[in-house]
């Protein structure tokens, strides 16, 4: 039972709240029943789990998850609520935090739909885009230059387990991004004032969608590389939240492809 916040293992785990340490230690934190359960179900490499014993008897879901973790031979370490609180970012912790290795899922042999986040700095938007990408059938997500770390706590929570199932890569420059993708792959950029509507694009061929941040927008390189596309809107609305706009476009691509399969 760990009762000191100065415990060596707790101090090491707490370092993972910082981006540099996450990538140096090749690990990140997972908080809550849903995320730890998703990681276990997806067979993500869990290094250790910290839990609060006092909450186990009163929470059947936590009891069941710990039973499954023990059966999978994941090291589960009891600690006080005060100690666990130093590892969490939420106001009401669920009594469980895991340390997992950074997922490095293999790249797909063929990319038919790729999502690129360009200067997306808001963690909630990044995580929601990742979740929407998985739901829409995207095969690869790239976190591009000046984009929030995909293993930031808020990104992980908003991603709802997509980190364990969808290949993603972090690229600090556009040269690295284009090296990951086929040379002839067309790029489209979500842009509020574009002349071409998103549903006017033929999404059946392979393509990449770039979504820029709400504050800074997309980078100059993205504008040089991609065809801008817009979501037509009524009333006085100027633009949509980046995550909503990205999801709308991705699901249009999914709709066209699903419809093409139905008639083939």
Cα 8 versus chain centre, distance:
29
- pLDDT for residue 161 is more than 90: yes
Contact 170/96 with Cβ under 8 angstroms?
Answer: no
First to last CA, the chain: 60
**Is residue 49 domain-shared with residue 177, that is, in the same domain?**
no
**Is residue 243 domain-shared with residue 125, that is, in the same domain?**
yes
**Is residue 88 domain-shared with residue 141, that is, in the same domain?**
no
What is the reported pLDDT for 93?
A: 84
Q: Does residue 1 form part of some domain?
A: no
Residue 263 banded pLDDT, cuts 50, 70, 90: confident
What is the reported pLDDT for 264?
A: 67
Residue 224 burial class via C-beta count within 10 angstroms: exposed 0-12, middle 13-18, buried 19 and up: exposed
What's the pTM? 0.94
- Residue 2: beta bridge partners? 79
**Is residue 230 domain-shared with residue 158, that is, in the same domain?**
yes
**Is residue 62 domain-shared with residue 145, that is, in the same domain?**
no
**Is residue 88 domain-shared with residue 139, that is, in the same domain?**
no
pLDDT tens-digit profile of 8-40? 999 999 999 999 999 999 999 999 999 999 999
CATH at residue 152:
3.40.1280.10
Mean pLDDT of the chain: 94
CB-based contacts of 197: which residues, under 8 Å, 6+ apart?
Answer: 229, 230, 231, 232
**Is residue 191 domain-shared with residue 258, that is, in the same domain?**
yes
Residue 261 banded pLDDT, cuts 50, 70, 90: confident
Among 67, 101, 135, give the residue marking a domain's end.
Answer: 101
Contact 139/116 with Cβ under 8 angstroms?
Answer: no
Number of domains in the chain: 2
Among 75, 101, 127, give the residue marking a domain's end.
Answer: 101
Listing DSSP states for 75-118 in one string gives: -EEEB-HHHHHTT--SSS--SEEEEEEPP-PPPPSS-SEEEEEE
pLDDT tens-digit profile of 34-77? 999 999 999 999 999 999 999 998 899 999 999 999 999 999 99
Q: At what angle do helices 33-41 and 60-71 cross, to 10 degrees?
A: 30
Residue 200 is encoded by which pair of tokens?
A: 């006017």
pLDDT tens-digit profile of 121-144? 999 999 999 999 999 999 999 999
Q: What domain range includes position 161?
A: 113-263
Residue 259 burial class via C-beta count within 10 angstroms: exposed 0-12, middle 13-18, buried 19 and up: exposed
What is the reported pLDDT for 60?
A: 95
**Angle 196-198-199 from CA coordinates, rounded to 5°:** 110
CATH at residue 96:
3.30.1330.30
Among 35, 66, 101, give the residue marking a domain's end.
Answer: 101
Q: Does residue 59 form part of some domain?
A: yes
**Is residue 191 domain-shared with residue 238, that is, in the same domain?**
yes
- 190: helix, coil or strand? strand
What is the reported pLDDT for 259?
A: 93
Instruction: Single out the residue of 164, 152, 158 nearest to residue 128, CA to CA.
Output: 158
The DSSP output letter for 17 is: G
- pLDDT for residue 234 is more than 90: no
Q: For the chain, what percent of residues have pLDDT higher than 70?
A: 99
What is the reported pLDDT for 41?
A: 96
What is the reported pLDDT for 11?
A: 97
- pLDDT for residue 155 is more than 70: yes
**Is residue 119 domain-shared with residue 97, that is, in the same domain?**
no
Strand ranges of the sheet holding 113-118, from the earlier edge strand across to the other edge = 168-170, 140-143, 113-118, 207-212, 187-190, 227-229
């Amino acid at each position: 039972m760990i009762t000191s916040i100065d415990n060596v293992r707790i101090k090491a785990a707490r370092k993972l709240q910082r981006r540099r340490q996450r990538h140096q230690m090749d690990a990140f934190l997972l908080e809550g029943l849903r995320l730890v359960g998703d990681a276990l179900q997806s067979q993500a490499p869990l290094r250790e789990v910290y839990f609060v014993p006092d909450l186990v008897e009163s929470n059947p879901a936590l009891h069941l998850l710990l039973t499954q973790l023990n059966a999978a031979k994941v090291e589960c370490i009891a600690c006080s609520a005060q100690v666990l609180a130093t590892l969490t970012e939420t106001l009401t912790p669920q009594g469980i935090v895991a340390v997992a290795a950074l997922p490095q899922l293999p790249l797909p042999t063929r990319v038919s739909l790729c999502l690129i986040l360009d200067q997306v700095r808001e963690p909630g938007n990044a995580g929601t885009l990742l979740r929407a990408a998985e739901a829409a059938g995207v095969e690869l997500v790239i976190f591009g230059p000046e984009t929030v770390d995909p293993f930031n706590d808020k990104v992980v929570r908003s991603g709802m387990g997509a980190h364990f199932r969808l290949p993603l890569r972090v690229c600090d420059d556009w040269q690295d991004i284009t090296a990951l993708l086929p040379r002839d792959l067309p790029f489209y950029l979500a842009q509020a004032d574009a002349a071409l509507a998103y549903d006017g694009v033929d999404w059946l061929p392979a393509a990449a969608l770039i979504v820029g941040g709400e504050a800074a927008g997309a980078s100059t390189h993205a504008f040089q590389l991609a065809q801008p596309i817009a979501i037509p809107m009524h009333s006085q609305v100027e633009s949509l939240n980046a995550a909503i706009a990205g999801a709308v476009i991705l699901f249009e691509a999914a709709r066209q492809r699903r419809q093409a399969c139905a008639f083939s």
